[in-house]
Structure formats: C-alpha cells, structure tokens
Structure 1
C-alpha cells in the first residue's frame, strides 16, 4: 500500500513536482522520466499533480488490492478443480 503522505512529500522534495519523484513511487516510470525531462511538463503537470495526487495514490492502492484478490480467487478456483 502506498501512502498519500509519502507521495506528497516526494512531490514537494522533487522541486514541487518538477522532477516527478512521486510518479516513480507510484510505479509510473515512463511518466516520471517525462517529468524529469520536461520539468513537470513545464510546471503545468506538476501543478495539476498537486490536486490529483491523492486520487492517484488511492487508484494505485485499489488496483493492487484487486490484483491480490484476483490472484487469491484464481488460486482457490484451481485448488477447487483439483479435488
């Protein structure tokens, strides 16, 4: 599970989002590289991230939780077929 506090701290220490450290934290490597090369898409993307970062963290955590549930569900289905 990723933390909103950590994500916002990384946004802050990456020169108010310009270096995109928060994207790397959330596993968005490509977007992080774009942020580094363009200065947070010339600062506009970094500013937008200030308002959308909380939702991005929640979305990431939800997706990870769903992957875990699906994996457990598939494992149960396979073990049920073997009996």
Structure 2
C-alpha cells in the first residue's frame, strides 16, 4: 500500500519571494488564494510588520499552507 501527500500547485519559492518583497501588503496570501488574510495584511500593513516577519519564517520553514490547507510544493 502506498501513500501520497496532497501538495498545492503553488510554489514555496514564489511565496517566499512575494512574502519577502510584498508581504506587508499580503501578496503571499493573495498568491495562495487566501484573499481574506491578504486583505487584512493589506489594511494593516502586515499586522504592523510583526505578522509579516513571522510569515517569512513560516514560509521559509515550509509550514505555510494554501487556501485548501495543502502544503506548498518545493
């Protein structure tokens, strides 16, 4: 019996770039389809910068998920 892991069609590398350069605007959330969180980041400038810095670590460590909770592909 073999097991398969469902992964997103979104790239971790692209999400990390978007988070690094436009994370305070929520670009990485819009990229993975999490529009509501993207709007929150857009209105609060990345939760005053704190959420943005945390998200850089979360994306880099591979724990960031898309809108259906699937891990991003490498």
Query: Normalised by the size of structure 1, how large is the TM-score?
Result: 0.64
Higher RCO (Cα < 8 Å, 6 or more apart): 2
Alpha-carbon contact 1:23-1:32 (below 8 Å) kept: yes
- Which runs of 5 or more structure 1 residues have no equivalent in the other structure? 63-83
- Which runs of 5 or more structure 2 residues have no equivalent in the other structure? 1-8
Does residue 42 of the first structure (1) align with residue 48 of the second (2)? yes
Query: Normalised by the size of structure 2, how large is the TM-score?
Result: 0.71
By how many angstroms is 1:13 displaced? Answer: 2.2
Of the three residues 30, 38, 47, the one matched with 1:32 is 38
Measured on the aligned residues, the alpha-carbon RMSD in Å equals: 1.9
The alignment of Structure 1 onto Structure 2 pairs a total of residues equal to 60
More helix by share: 1
Q: Bigger radius of gyration, 1 or 2? A: 1
Of the three residues 19, 37, 42, the one matched with 1:11 is 19
